[in-house]
Structure 1
Amino acid sequence: MAGFNTAVTGLKAASTDLDVIGNNIANSSTVGFKTSRTEFGDIYATAVVGAGSSNVAGSGVTVSDIAQDFQAGTIEFTNNNLDLAINGSGFFQLDDGQGGTTFTRAGAFQLDKDGFIVSKSGKFLQGYGLDDQGNRLPIGNLAVSQKESPPKATEDIDLSFNIDSREDPTTLTFPYDKDTPASFTYSTTVRTFDSLGNEHTIKYNMVERRPTKDVYSVTTASTAVRISGVTVDPTDGFSAAEIASIEAADSRIDGATLSYSGGVMSFEIKAKYSDYGDVVIEDVSGTPTDITPAPTERDANEVRLYDLAVPSAAQSPATIDVSGVSIVVTDSMSELDMANTIQAREQEILDRNPAIESVSVIDAGSGNYQISIRFKAEQGNINPTSYPISITPTGYTGMSLNSTVDGDNGFQGMYRLYAYLNGTELLDIGKVEDPGEPGAPAGNTEVGPILLEFNPSSGLLRGINDVTFTSGATAPSITVSGADPANNATTITLDLTGTTQFASASIVKSSTQDGYTKGDLIGVSFSETGEMVASFSNGQNQDLGVVAIATFENQSGLQPSGDTEWTATLTSGDAIVNPPGTGLNGTLRSAALEQSNVDLSAELVALIEAQRNFQANSKTIETQNTVTQAILQI
């Protein structure tokens, strides 16, 4: 009877269903496992004659397919960076080293003894290597090839700071000494590394320029001298062209005067930047030992000195107007009386003229006295017509200008910047050799300070080493030489952009440098887009490769091959390999594993259904047997 065969096919199908469900339940904790389901098809006997008749009982059931469900499982995070999960579609590609390629969603990887990333079954994870420029190489075995990071010498320093503008440069001790904090305004230190990875420091000392000027006075019988490399001959007069040549040759000089009488020449040079470097003065033979004047220092204030004259009886009383303050003098006064009378009105003069610092009496000897009007240093060189002295009656010259010492406010916002390797060795940071030094090629640099210039109105940096730029703009770089004891050819580029001089505490606003010491491998991690990044103990990271993700036109056509792996078939098509996150590829999660997608609740219900089907088919055989026995008993 056909019923026996039909029931047997039902038993076989139900038994297969139980096997599939049992396998799902057994792998409910298997990383990367994909659940399967049993798909059935009915069996009908066909014949040429009578085909298509509806009066066909059928021949049973067959298992038409065991289909896999590639729905993603839950991603759970771990403490191992080599545990990988794909958040989305795709498979990891594995190579067994013998030409076999499989695909998996189980990302529990580890390093083998040679540094290759392998699966639990020992197969190599595939990915793109990277060349020195970061370009992708052909797909191959991913490996942690870098076990250490070589040292790198510091080549770039970005440093910005604020110097408190409220600091008073007149309180600095003189001369400057790197080991005397009271002699400099502000100091900060930056860590650096040499070519061998040794750590060093560069200490930067900033010294605000005091309101002074350096003045040179020389007397020589020579008919010509050389000043900062420029030869001048006083016998034909000290021309404006010669002054311009000296100022052009040496940016530190802002003026010169000269006199020549009886074969003896005397001259005075006023240097812009005190304590920055001596102006080179030599005779025409080029031997500076003949005349080596040391600069003397004077205040940068403008000072006007006035002679006094007592009015005659015909002129008395007379009025002297000192910049808006009227003072009456008479013929009964002496010059000392006049001087004291004017000096007694000092406070009124100061109140009406904020630019004036003081009014004082000078004893010129022989009963003669003078009035000295001293202006504030920050006022600089004042227009001769400013702050006039007027006298009545007309023709009376009771207070006449004797001499003027020009003012200079060029000290405002000016700092000398020194750099020291490890706090001791003075470095070359671009100071141009003093013009006129014997044997010094033009444009060469030497160890010593350079100049920083701030806009006194805005507090923004506007000049470095005599190179000016728009306040607040990107500052020209400073080249630091000699800061790498292991390699003298190494230079450091120092960027001070953002440095300011505001009325707030002196602080470092930002400080970065690009050097580092040797580092050892401490770990490997992966980015969402698949980059494998090695981390080293020196704080550096290096991309070692990119994980490859494979997708298929028909992933349902993949053939299970064990160890939670699949192989490609004609039905699935060839693998399409790309980095994670490109196209429809899922992104990568490091320190995470995709769990099995088995739903235990659904599987247990299905188990009951499969058991019921098996029992029902068994009952069919039992019934058929009873019928057969009844027939045999007829």
Structure 2
Amino acid sequence: MGFSSGLSGLNAASKDLDVVGNNVANAATVGFKQGQAQFADIYANSLYGAGNNTIGIGTKVSTVAQQFTQGDITVTNRQLDLAISGNGFFRVSNNGAVSYTRAGQFQLDKNGYIVTANADRLTGYLANGAGIINSVSPVDLKIPTGDLAPLATTSITGQFNLDSRSSTIVQATTPFNLTDPTTYTNGTSLKVFDSLGNSHDVNLYFVNRGAGSWDVYASLDGTTQIGAGPVTTMTFNTSGGLTAGGGPIAMPAVVYGNGAANGALSLNLGGTTQFGNTYSPNTLSQNGYTSGRLTGFTFGSDGTIQGTYSNSQTIVLGQVALANFNNVQGLIPGGNNLWQESADSGIPIVGVPGGTNLGKLQAGATEASNVDLTAELVHMITAQRNYQANAQTIKTQDQLMQTMVNM
């Protein structure tokens, strides 16, 4: 019995050293989770049950438990490096075969997919052209390379202060003429866009008609008046507050030409004032933009991918998906920093970063291996001593047997 006990101890200590060696070898592997050899004693089975004085016959490695503790977050400042702070795994796909990883060192392949070094594609939820995410079923994440389609301007919003001290211009004697600055009090201009993404200037002209009344005219590109008369008439009370005509106002149709659709513009001048102060445009904006090309993208802590375009627009391109399991110890290591689900792990619970029992993402960073190198080296010494002690057990048993043979 001594030989078998010592031999089992040698095997167990050897496997313990194998686990330690694997941990040490992967101390610098991003996203690696260390293993721990766990042992169980062995007793011989008896037909009538074991007595109180039963002596064990050795030990065995019952399992190698994975330690899914959080590794240190290391900042890399690399755009496609991602680290999970908390629970969960990246979900990656290779021709439909899904695996899971904590190693967030990604890159773009030639087709625009976000992939690992082994060409496994990161999965998540894609967004439509309006930036709305379809979170029904995760798919391979792909960064679009096409141009962002233009958006025709439909709304103009402005807020001004019109100087109550300015001279009154009488319509009957001085009718409005966009080419004659003496026929209007003040003016301003802003860029708008047609359905093809071409830019145009819409000019607004303010004419003081006296008694707190101001006519507002508009023109396209400074040459064509929009509508036959004023697009709105604003009136103000004696405190300088706007009482009528601020909008939103549906302006007459704008004919852009050059194959673009006619524009239907809405004008909103709410909040405009008439104080005894210098004329000033406080805010002026519109909701259209020209076409643009992708210049970069960033990841949010919730996994959203924000694309930045050459036309100064930012649009949500998609969102990274994470997965977690009821029993992460049941995951099967598959090499290349990957795990596969099993019957013991349970089915994956897929969601977005920051969701229930799922950690948040940190972009420009990776999760280091959770191996404590100092502890592993101490453990290595202990495992070596165990191996030597079991070898000594076999040696002593051999000496006893030799003594009996020589009697």
Same fold (TM over 0.5): yes
Q: Say whether residues 1:122 and 2:111 are aligned partners.
A: no
Q: Distance in 1 between matches of 2:251 and 2:53?
A: 100
Does structure 2 conserve the Cα–Cα contact (< 8 Å) formed by 1:527 and 1:589?
A: yes
Shift of 1:137: 4.6
Q: Distance in 1 between matches of 2:371 and 2:175?
A: 83
Instruction: Give 1:154 shift.
Output: 1.2
Mark the runs of 5 or more structure 1 residues left unpaired by the alignment. Answer: 210-410, 429-445, 465-473
Q: SS of the counterpart of 1:149? A: coil
Give CA deviations for 1:4-42 in whole Å, capped at 9, x if unaligned. 322222122111111111111111121111111010111
Following TM superposition, by how much is the alpha carbon of 1:571 offset from its aligned partner in structure 2, in angstroms?
1.0
Q: Deviations over 1:325-360 (max 9, x none)?
A: xxxxxxxxxxxxxxxxxxxxxxxxxxxxxxxxxxxx
Q: 2:161 maps to which residue?
A: 162
**Partner of 2:72 in structure 1?**
74
Structure 1 contact 552–575 (Cα < 8 Å) conserved: yes
SS at structure 2 position matched to 1:607: helix
Do residues 414 (structure 1) and 213 (structure 2) align?
A: yes
Distance change (3 Å), C-alpha of 1:450 and 1:142: closer
Q: Which whole-Å deviations, capped at 9, do the CAs of 1:90-120 have from their partners, x for residues lacking one?
A: 22222210x4221111122222222222222
In structure 1, the partner of 2:271 is 498
Q: Which one of the candidate residues 465, 484, 488 is aligned to 2:256?
A: 484
Give the CA deviation at 1:568. 1.1
Q: Residue type matched to 1:475 in 2?
A: G
User: Per-residue deviation at 1:146?
Assistant: 4.9
User: What SS class does the counterpart of residue 69 from structure 2 fall into?
Assistant: coil
Q: Distance in 2 between matches of 1:515 and 1:59?
A: 81
Deviation at 1:623, TM superposition (A): 2.8
Matching residue's letter, 2:350: V
Match of 1:11 in 2: 10
Q: Which amino acid aligns with 1:455?
A: F
Give yes or no for contact 1:129–1:142 (8 Å, CA) kept in 2.
yes
Partner of residue 536 from structure 1, selected from 309, 327, 333: 309
User: Structure 2 vs 1, CA of residues 609 and 202 (structure 1 numbering), >3 Å: closer, same or farther?
Assistant: same
> In structure 1, how many angstroms separate the alpha carbons of the residues matched to 2:104 and 2:10?
38
**Equivalent in the alignment of 1:202:** 202
Q: Which amino acid in structure 2 is aligned with residue 61 of structure 1?
A: T
Distance 1:33 1:198 in 2: 52
Q: Which residue of 2 aligns with 1:105?
A: 102
CA separation of 1:530 and 1:187: change in aligned 2, threshold 3 A: same
1:141 is matched with 140
Q: 2:351 aligns with which of 575, 578, 592?
A: 578
8 A contact 1:44–1:60 mirrored in 2: yes
- Structure 1 Cα separation of the partners of residues 213 and 335 of structure 2: 77
Query: Given that residues 159 and 284 in structure 2 are in contact (C-alpha distance below 8 angstroms), is that contact kept between their aligned partners in structure 1?
Result: yes
What is residue 23 of structure 1 aligned with on the other side? 22
Could you tell me whether the CA contact under 8 Å between 1:195 and 1:484 is conserved in 2?
no
Give secondary structure in 2 for the equivalent of 1:491. Answer: coil
1:361-372 matches, cutoff 5 A: none
Among 371, 375, 381, the alignment partner of 1:602 is 375
Spell out the pairing of 1:197-236 with structure 2 (5 A cutoff).
Answer: 197-209=197-209
Report the TM-score when normalising by structure 1. Answer: 0.59
Deviation at 1:131, TM superposition (A): 4.8
Deviation for aligned residue 1:136 = 3.6
Unmatched 5+ stretches in structure 2: none
What does residue range 354-503 of structure 1 map to in structure 2 within 5 Å?
Answer: 411-428=210-227, 446=228, 448-464=229-245, 475-482=247-254, 484-486=256-258, 487=260, 489-503=262-276
Residue deviations 1:189-247, cap 9 Å, x none?
Answer: 112112222222222222222xxxxxxxxxxxxxxxxxxxxxxxxxxxxxxxxxxxxxx
How many Å apart are 1:632 and its aligned residue? 4.2
1:180 offset after TM fit, Å?
5.6
Q: Could you tell which deviates more after superposition, 621-630 or 451-460?
A: 621-630
Q: Check 1:480–1:597 CA distance in 2 against 1; reply closer, same or farther (3 A cut).
A: farther
**What percent of counterpart residues are identical?**
41
Residues 201 and 423, structure 1, Cα contact 8 Å, conserved in 2: yes
Query: Match of 2:191?
Result: 191
Q: 1:66 to 1:205 in 2, by over 3 A?
A: same
AA matched with 1:457? T
| Secondary structure of 2:138's aligned partner | strand
Residue 561 of structure 1 is matched in structure 2 by 334
Distance in 1 between residues matched to 2:293 and 2:352, nearest whole Å:
28
Q: 1:191 to 1:170 in 2, by over 3 A?
A: closer
One-letter code aligned to 1:55:
N
1:228-377 alignment, distance < 5 Å: none
8 Å contact from structure 1 (residues 152, 195) kept in 2: yes
Query: 505-514 or 154-163, which moves further after superposition?
Result: 505-514
Q: Which residue of 2 is the match for residue 243 of structure 1?
A: none
Residue of structure 2 in register with 1:96 after alignment: 94
Which residue does the alignment assign to 2:393? 620
Q: Secondary structure at the match of 2:356?
A: coil
- Shift of the alpha carbon at 1:62? 0.7
Please give the per-residue CA displacement for 1:123-163, whole angstroms capped at 9, x wherever unaligned. 12222334567344533222223522011221111111111
- SS of the aligned residue for 1:47 comes to coil
- Distance, in Å, in 2 between the alignment partners of 1:479 and 1:607 is 81
For the residue of structure 2 that corresponds to 1:535, the secondary structure is: strand
Aligned letter for 1:424?
Answer: T
- C-alpha separation between the residues in 1 aligned to 2:341 and 2:241? 67
Moved more, 565-574 or 122-131: 122-131
Contact in 1 for aligned 2:169/2:183 (Cα 8 Å): no
Q: Which residue of 2 aligns with 1:215?
A: none
AA of the residue aligned to 2:91: Q
Q: Quick one: which amino acid aligns to residue 477 of structure 1?
A: I
Quick check: which has more Rg, 1 or 2? 1
Aligned length: 402
Distance 1:183 1:489, change over 3 A: closer
| Aligned-partner Cα distance in 2 for 1:154–1:128 | 29
Please, what TM-score do these two structures have when normalized by structure 2?
A: 0.90
Q: Could you say if the C-alpha distance between residues 503 and 100 of structure 1 is closer, same or farther in structure 2, counting changes exceeding 3 Å?
A: same
What is the CA RMSD across the aligned residues, in angstroms?
2.6
Taking a change above 3 Å as real, the CA distance of residues 488 and 610 of structure 1, as seen in their structure-2 partners, is closer
Counterpart of 1:347 in structure 2 is: none
Contact 2:169 2:208 in 1 (8 A): no
> Distance in 1 between the 2:237 and 2:346 partners?
74
Give the Cα–Cα distance (whole angstroms) in 1 for the partners of residues 304 and 255 of structure 2. 36
